[in-house]
Amino acid sequence: MPPPRTPGTALRQQLAELRGPDTAPKALDARALAALAANPGCDRRALLDGVGVDKAKLAGALGAPSAFGMSQFAFMRGNAFEARVKADGGAELLRLVHERLDPRAEPPGSGTAPDLSAIGPEGRTARTELALREATGAGVWTLLDHPMLALDVAGSPAFLEPDAVVVHPDGGWTVVEIKSFPMLDGSADPAKVGAAARQSAVYVLALEEVAARLDPAPEVHHRILLVCPKDFSNLPAASAVDVRKQRAVTRRQLARLTRVEDIAAALPEGICFSPDLPADELMTAVESVPATYAPECLSACELAFHCRARSRERGAVTSLGRSLRAELGSLTTVPDVLAAARGTAGDPADPAVAALRRAALLRTEALRGTPATAGAPDGREAGACR
Ligand code: SF4
């Protein structure tokens, strides 16, 4: 399998123009990719991420700042914990991987930790691949501290930096994710573990692309090691997390993303997403790209408050939840739904329309305290859905 393609000069130029002059691209990380994969139908997010727009800045410039981000204190605490886990050449981390994932292998003793420094993300990616090649088959435990991996996402390379990758003595590779949320009595907040699993699944996919270029291809383990502080202390606790399901979902969703150049080609002339532009120009630019807002965006995308406001303005039913949207079929707006319930619009043969009319009738009966006209086909006499 070839390494990820880098965009051609023309596309790079087009992306730079969309980002705005002198605006450095914001790199996609695994967290963003996992969130992107969670909403593959959103061209707006796919384009902005592919272009490298800083969505948090953009949301602020649009007057709808996101509630994302870690406090400085939490950030420093997380860094201190990670440094502690990786101290002494990663001895404790290798011990945890051995204990939780590969107890039949030789105990780590002193592993090796190659220097992965290089210039630029492309250089670091190449250096990581070389280190993985050298460590695979060396027969010793090897810790790759903050390696860099590349993954092709909708035609653009995304550079990803896992906390660590461990190469086992048998040549297998394991992703290690270090988080600062606590593990209490051996278990942690399921929502946070789920988010860590989705993030790790992206790293597993990127590692599989590297593994596929080696002969023989080493095994990329689908059980990753999640390391957290134990019971509010600063001591590490670790748990193996199977990410096969998240990997399969992410792989499928990423494959569904529309290519960035295809979305960009459909934009009007002169569109630019630079956060330095006036708010009304930015609003026009952002609204020129179709979006598929759902309440899940609130925990996954910096533009969520902006998209929610626009979605509500249009009366889109997706702002009430994807499952409701799916049940309503061809009725995509709240006015459509109300009209269908009143019997002033909609095909009575449509199961969603029939269910709405029946619900309106039942509601009227309940409010009147008497049965509404039996067999009333459209519930108009109910007059309740206003
Ligand atoms: S918040 Fe907006 S841009 Fe982000 S994923 Fe949702 S709809 Fe797309």
360 is a domain residue: no
Cis link prior to 216 (omega < 30° from 0)? yes
- Top-confidence residue, 181 or 186: 181
Q: Which domain holds residue 108?
A: 72-254
Under DSSP, is residue 226 helix (H, G, I), strand (E, B) or coil? strand
Could you say which of 308, 323, 338 is where a domain stops? 323
Q: Are residues 150 and 235 in the same domain?
A: yes
Position of tokens 């130029």?
Answer: 13
pLDDT of residue 162: 95
**For residue 289, what are its two tokens?**
């790209």
pLDDT of residue 386: 44
| Average pLDDT over every residue of 205-212 | 95
pLDDT of residue 383: 43
Q: Are residues 238 and 275 in the same domain?
A: no
Spatial neighbors of 20 by CB under 8 A, at least 6 apart, are: 272, 273, 274, 275, 276, 277
Could you say which of 304, 323, 342 is where a domain stops? 323
Please determine, for residue 127, whether its predicted confidence score (pLDDT) is greater than 80: yes
pLDDT of residue 320: 87
Q: Are residues 17 and 88 in the same domain?
A: no
pLDDT of residue 373: 53
**In a mutational test of the pocket of ligand 1, which residue from 36, 47, 292, 307 has the highest number of ligand atoms less than 8 Å from its CB?**
307
Cα 157 to Cα 235: distance, rounded to the nearest angstrom: 36
| Average pLDDT over every residue of 145-149 | 96
Instruction: Give the number of C-alpha atoms closer than 13 A to the C-alpha of residue 321, restricted to the C-beta side.
Output: 3
Contact at 8 Å (CB) between 225 and 271?
A: no
Report the nearest atom of ligand 1 relative to the CA of 45: 3
Query: The pTM is what?
Result: 0.71
212 is a domain residue: yes
> How many whole angstroms from 311 Cα to the centroid of ligand 1?
10
Which residue puts its alpha carbon closest to atom 7 of ligand 1? 293
Interhelix angle for 9-19 vs 43-51, to 10°?
100
Distance of CA 186 to the CA centre of its chain: 26
pLDDT in tens, 192-201: 898 899 999 9
Cα 15 to Cα 1: distance, rounded to the nearest angstrom: 26
Please determine, for residue 156, whether its predicted confidence score (pLDDT) is greater than 80: no
> How many whole angstroms from 179 Cα to the centroid of ligand 1?
26
DSSP letter at 316 equals B
> How many whole angstroms from 236 Cα to the centroid of ligand 1?
36
In which band, very low, low, confident or very high, does the pLDDT at 8 lie, cut at 50, 70 and 90?
low
Please determine, for residue 154, whether its predicted confidence score (pLDDT) is greater than 80: no
Express as a percent the part of the chain with pLDDT over 90: 51
- What is the number of domains present in the chain? 2
> How many whole angstroms from 76 Cα to the centroid of ligand 1?
29
In which band, very low, low, confident or very high, does the pLDDT at 69 lie, cut at 50, 70 and 90?
low
User: For position 109, which CATH number holds?
Assistant: 3.90.320
Could you say which of 323, 346, 363 is where a domain stops? 323
pLDDT of residue 372: 54
> How many whole angstroms from 282 Cα to the centroid of ligand 1?
15
**For residue 109, what are its two tokens?**
């003793």
Cα 49 to Cα 202: distance, rounded to the nearest angstrom: 16
> How many whole angstroms from 45 Cα to the centroid of ligand 1?
6
Which span out of 18-27, 31-40, 269-278 was modeled with the highest average pLDDT? Answer: 269-278
In which band, very low, low, confident or very high, does the pLDDT at 177 lie, cut at 50, 70 and 90?
very high
355 is a domain residue: no
Position of tokens 């460590």?
Answer: 135
Distance of CA 187 to the CA centre of its chain: 23
> In the chain, how many H helices and how many E strands?
15, 7
Q: Which residues line ligand 1 (CB under 6 A)?
A: 39, 42, 44-45, 291-293, 297, 301, 303-304, 307
Which residue puts its alpha carbon closest to atom 1 of ligand 1? 304
> What does the mean pLDDT of the chain come to?
86
Q: Are residues 89 and 183 in the same domain?
A: yes
Contact at 8 Å (CB) between 74 and 180?
A: yes
